[in-house]
Structure 1
Amino acid sequence: MRLTKLEHAALILEDSGKKLFVDPGSYTTAITEAAQAVAIVITHEHADHWTPEQIDRILSRNPDARILAPAGVAAAAGALPVEVVKAGDEIEVGPFTLTFFGEKHAVIHESIPIVDNVGVLVNGTVYYGGDSYSIPEGVEVDVQAVPAGAPWLKIGDVMDYVLAVKPRRSFPTHEMTLSKAGKEMSNARIKWATEQNGGTFHPLEPGDTLDI
């Protein structure tokens, strides 16, 4: 399986010639290379994780691709054929086995509603928690996508999150709100936390890949 990081929170997983898109949102360049997509996972309803335009681009090339997301996304998505998933669900689509964890977005502020959020484990190896610190209990995570910058995020909490998950490998995601200096600072902290349990940090930039 190959992972490709796109801008901000978006990822592509490829296996056996098929693609899985995760969180193609408003901070991600318009997706045009979408052939052979079998599914789209959306962790929550915020626009930086999905937009109708990004979904339409993928579906125009792959009309049978499944959209998997929590109830909040289904409510916001109108006529899009969203299949609602929740913690504990396991779904097979093409060569991908998707296991879902968690229920809610991390708290931004008491004045801002907390929305539904699911983390996803792909093929038992790659874990992305969306905008949460949900831990995939009972799973040895090979690769963790680690949020590096967000209004809801404190880097100390991120470090504790990585220490709890104990991935063999990690890389940064959710960092389009950061300056170059901010990315370097967050990367250094995530690297430290990953290495405490013998893992390796990969400072992936948009377009970079990781073989799994």
Structure 2
Amino acid sequence: MRLTKFGHSCVRFDTDEGAFVIDPGVFSDPAALDGVDAVFVTHQHADHCNDPELRRLLEDQPETRIYGPESLAEVLGSLPFTTVSAGDSIPVAGTEVRVVGKHHAAVHPDIPVIPNVGYVADGVFHPGDALTIPGLPVRVLLAPVAAPWLKLSEVIDFIRLVDAPIVHPIHDAILSKDGITIVDRNLANLIGDPFQRIADGDTVTI
């Protein structure tokens, strides 16, 4: 399996039997969607769900399946998608994507908490906008590192609790170049060898 980061929280998985994407949002490169069999969306926020690009995708590739929580209907409207929730398992591209979690992390008491699901694909865990402990074996953690709902100490605790042998940072588009350097330095110092940044557009083999 090959994993490519396409900006912010968007990652693409390519296998010998197909391809799928998690969280192609407005901060992501739309090229992530080229030729995919399926799209998995963790929640309805625009930085995770770029609905105009998904509409274009289905116009060009109507056989592509989109998966996400029921609340996606609020932004996708009549666009067809398959509702998923914790405990579901979806076969795709010769592997299996398992669904975990229920809620987005709290931003502020005045802001309602929306649904958010995470996905575990062949041991690679993408939590979306949450710090859910998946209850499944994780060999690669895609850890969100910068958000209005998040502080660095929570990231470190989350990474330690999941205890994956490899950690790649995601959800970082709101950071400047200097901000990324600061976050990476702290995580490298406190997490150690598991922490490995993938630059946007780069691919690693899982």
Q: Is the TM value for this pair above 0.5?
A: yes
Distance 2:13 2:92 in 1: 12
Cα displacement (A) at 1:154: 0.6
Report the count of equivalent residues.
Answer: 206
TM-score, normalized by length of structure 1?
0.91
Matches of residues 42-81 of structure 1 in structure 2 within 5 Å?
A: 42-81=41-80
CA distance in 2, matches of 1:143, 1:76: 30
| Residues 1:32 and 1:155: Cα distance change in structure 2 (over 3 Å) | closer
Name the CA distance, whole Å, in 2 between partners of 1:33 and 1:12. 8
Structure 2 distance, partners of 1:97, 1:71, is 20
After TM superposition, the structure 1 stretch with the greater mean CA deviation from structure 2, 85-94 or 6-15, is 85-94
Rounded to whole Å, the distance in 2 between the matches of 1:193 and 1:38 is 38
Secondary structure at the residue paired with 2:66?
A: strand
Matches of residues 106-121 of structure 1 in structure 2 within 5 Å?
106-121=105-120
The residue type paired with residue 150 of structure 2 is L
2:175 alignment partner, one of 165, 174, 178: 178
Change (3 A) 1:169 1:134: same
In 2, Cα distance between equivalents of 1:94 and 1:40: 11
Where structure 1 has 5 or more consecutive residues not aligned to the other structure, the ranges are: none
Q: Which amino acid aligns with 1:183?
A: I
Question: In 1, are the aligned partners of 2:20 and 2:93 still within 8 Å (CA)?
Answer: no
Distance 1:84 1:193, change over 3 A: farther
Q: Is the 8 A contact 2:4 2:11 kept in 1?
A: yes
Shift of 1:161: 0.3
Matches within 5 A, 1:122-137: 122-123=121-122, 125-137=123-135
Structure-2 separation of matches of 1:154 and 1:47: 21
Q: Which amino acid aligns with 1:30?
A: P
- Asked if 1 retains the 8 angstrom alpha-carbon contact of 2:25 and 2:50, the reply is yes
CA distance in 1, matches of 2:84, 2:115: 10
Deviation of 1:194 (Å):
3.6
Q: Give, in whole Å, the separation in 2 of the partners of 1:33 and 1:174.
A: 18
Q: What is the SS of the residue equivalent to 1:107? A: coil
Select the residue among 197, 206, 209 that pairs with 2:203.
Answer: 209
- Deviating above 4 A after TM superposition, structure 1's stretches of 4 or more consecutive aligned residues are none
| 2:6 maps to amino acid | L
Compute the RMSD of aligned alpha carbons.
Answer: 1.6
How far apart are residue 32 of structure 1 and its match? 6.8
Unaligned runs of 5+ in 2: none
8 Å contact from structure 1 (residues 99, 121) kept in 2: yes
Is 1:30 the counterpart of 2:27 in the alignment? no
> Letter of the aligned partner of 2:129 in structure 1?
D
Q: Distance in 2 between matches of 1:205 and 1:28?
A: 13
How far apart are the structure 2 equivalents of 1:39 and 1:71?
A: 17
User: 2:199 corresponds to which letter in structure 1?
Assistant: E
What TM-score, normalized to structure 2? 0.94
After TM superposition, give the deviation of residue 3 of structure 1 in Å.
0.1
Alpha-carbon shift at residue 33 of structure 1 (Å): 5.9
